[in-house]
Amino acid sequence: MNFLNGMTLLLVYQLVGEVTVRLLAVPIPGPVLGMVMLFLTLMIRGRTPEPLQNASTALLSHLSLLFVPAGVGMMAHFDRIADEWLPITLALFFSTIITMVATAGIMQLTTRWFVRPGQGGGQQDE
């Protein structure tokens, strides 16, 4: 019952998010708005209800599994990927590396600039 209640809550927030996005014609995906609304609710309530904790832990601990059906979708796009494999693979590969390195660098620098030393500003040594 516990897990079920948590799952129901997540679906209700997703549903409200989807409906709101369509009603207001905002370009944000419904689940993202649902996430924001749930976050605000938690902030107001000041604690995480146990059923919600259980359901979200269960979903997030198997997050990789949820990407598998989308990944298998590659087979439906073999032709397209074969046609433009060079821009697709190179852009994807290098853009991911650039993003990772740049974000890490910016986070490292800005933490040092804006947060007092000792608050996780990349000062720790191994």
Partner 1 sequence: MNEPAIRDIWVYLSASPLLGLTITLVAYGLAYRLYLKSNSSPLANPVVSSVAMLIALLMVTGTSYSEYFEGGQFVHFLLGPATVALAVPLYQQFSRLRELWLPVTISLVCGVVIAAGSSIGLAWLLGGSTEIQMSLAPKSATAPVAMGISETIGGIPSLTAVLVVATGIVGAVLGTKLFEWMRITDDSVKGIAMGVAAHGIGTARAFQVSSQMGAFSGLAMALSAFATALIVPWLVDLIGI
11-70 residues in contact with partner 1 (CB under 8 A) are 11, 13-14, 17, 27-32, 34-36, 38-39, 42-43, 48, 52-53, 55-57, 59-60, 63-70
Count CB neighbours of 22 within 10 A: 10
Count of residues that interact with partner 1, criterion CB under 8 A: 80
| Residue 2: CB minimum distance to partner 1, A | 15
Residue whose C-alpha is closest to residue 49's, from 91, 5, 19: 5
Contact between 17 and 30 under an 8 Å Cβ cutoff? The reply is: yes
Spacing of C-alpha 87 from chain mean position: 26
Query: Of residues 73-112, which lie at the interface with partner 1 (CB under 8 A)?
Result: 73-77, 80-81, 84, 86-88, 90-108, 110-111
Nearer to partner 1, 19 or 104 (CB): 104
Residue 102: enclosing H or E segment and its boundaries?
A: helix 85-114
| Residue 25: CB minimum distance to partner 1, A | 11
